[in-house]
Amino acid sequence: MARAVTRPHRGVSAVDRTAARRTRLLDAARDLIADQGSTSLSVDAVCGRAELTKRYFYESFTGLDALLTAVFDEATGALRSALVAALADAPAQFEGRIRVVVRSVLTALASDRGWSRLWAESPAHPLLRLRRHAVIDEFVAALAGELTPDRRHGQDPAITLLTLVAGITEVVDRRALLDLPIHDDALLESLVAVGVAACAPLRPDA
């Protein structure tokens, strides 16, 4: 049986056109989540914002859960990249490294309100809640390796860092939901102070 030949349209391949439509759908979903939250998201609304038919929605996603997962993974991927890049250039000084970690998390989530709001609302979605827990565990493990590489302390760094990350996450969530009015610099300084105090027993020179 002969295969159907897919020719480029105006010089753009079918694969590239599909990828471009998928990006438009993701962008539309983030915009709608930023404006209305994830619970009000619908296939019709996303297609309307992206100016695409449902046919093209289902070309890229099996349904809303798949779309929300893709947006969530996009957000956590950006957060992961920001954290890795920040730590690569971070100073050796303990407080400086904590400052870099906190700033990179806040900056990454603040860069897109759709991302930050979905992160804040993810505990209400069973699938996203599991992914969120996995991401937090991943970050805790990475931070434990960065901040306590020798692991000679009696205090378990994972428990300390999980408590710290969970606390920072709650603050970021409240801020994303517009429930915590605070200026960026003030928020950064407050979280850095909490982070330094919480991690004091983990300092290499402690």
Nearest to 44 by CA among 24, 29, 59: 29
Question: What pLDDT does residue 66 have?
Answer: 97
- Percentage of the residues of the chain whose pLDDT score is greater than 70: 86
Tell whether 4 is covered by a domain: no
Stretch 1-27: mean pLDDT: 76
3-state SS, residue 93: coil
Residue 56 sits in the same domain as residue 150: no
Residue of 181 and 102 predicted with greater confidence? 102
Instruction: Give the chain's mean pLDDT.
Output: 83
Residue 79 sits in the same domain as residue 145: yes
Q: Which of 40, 61, 82 is the last residue of a domain?
A: 61
Residue range(s) defining the domain that contains residue 50: 11-61
121-140: pLDDT as tens digits: 999 999 999 999 999 888 88
Question: What pLDDT does residue 34 have?
Answer: 92
d(CA 29, CA 87): 30
CATH of the domain at 25: 1.10.10.60
Q: Which of 37, 61, 85 is the last residue of a domain?
A: 61
d(CA 30, CA 37): 9
Question: What pLDDT does residue 1 have?
Answer: 42
Residue 84 sits in the same domain as residue 42: no
Residue 103 sits in the same domain as residue 148: yes
Contact (Cβ atoms closer than 8 angstroms) between residue 125 and residue 68 = yes
Question: What pLDDT does residue 179 have?
Answer: 66
Contacts by residues 77-80 (CB-CB < 8 Å, ≥ 24 positions apart): 78/108, 78/111, 78/112, 78/115, 79/104, 79/105, 79/108, 79/109, 79/135, 80/135, 80/138, 80/139
Tell whether 17 is covered by a domain: yes
Tell whether 3 is covered by a domain: no
Residue 135 sits in the same domain as residue 80: yes
Task: Answer whether residue 12 shows pLDDT above 80.
Answer: no
Tell whether 5 is covered by a domain: no
Residue of 44 and 87 predicted with greater confidence? 44
User: What's the structural domain count of the chain?
Assistant: 2
Residue 86 sits in the same domain as residue 43: no
Stretch 34-47: mean pLDDT: 94
CATH of the domain at 160: 1.10.357.10
101 alpha carbon, distance to own chain's centre: 14
Tell whether 2 is covered by a domain: no
> Computed from CA positions of residues 32, 38, 42, 43, in that sequence, does the dihedral angle turn out positive or negative?
positive
Residue 85 sits in the same domain as residue 155: yes
Residue with tokens 């992961």: 80
Stretch 52-56: mean pLDDT: 97
Question: What pLDDT does residue 49 have?
Answer: 97
Contacts by residues 91-99 (CB-CB < 8 Å, ≥ 24 positions apart): 94/147, 94/196, 94/199, 94/203, 94/204, 94/205, 95/192, 95/196, 97/146, 97/147, 98/147, 98/192, 98/195, 98/196, 98/199, 99/188, 99/192
Task: Answer whether residue 141 shows pLDDT above 90.
Answer: no
177-189: pLDDT as tens digits: 766 666 777 888 8
Question: What pLDDT does residue 63 have?
Answer: 97
Residue of 167 and 184 predicted with greater confidence? 167
Question: What pLDDT does residue 2 have?
Answer: 44
Residue of 188 and 28 predicted with greater confidence? 28
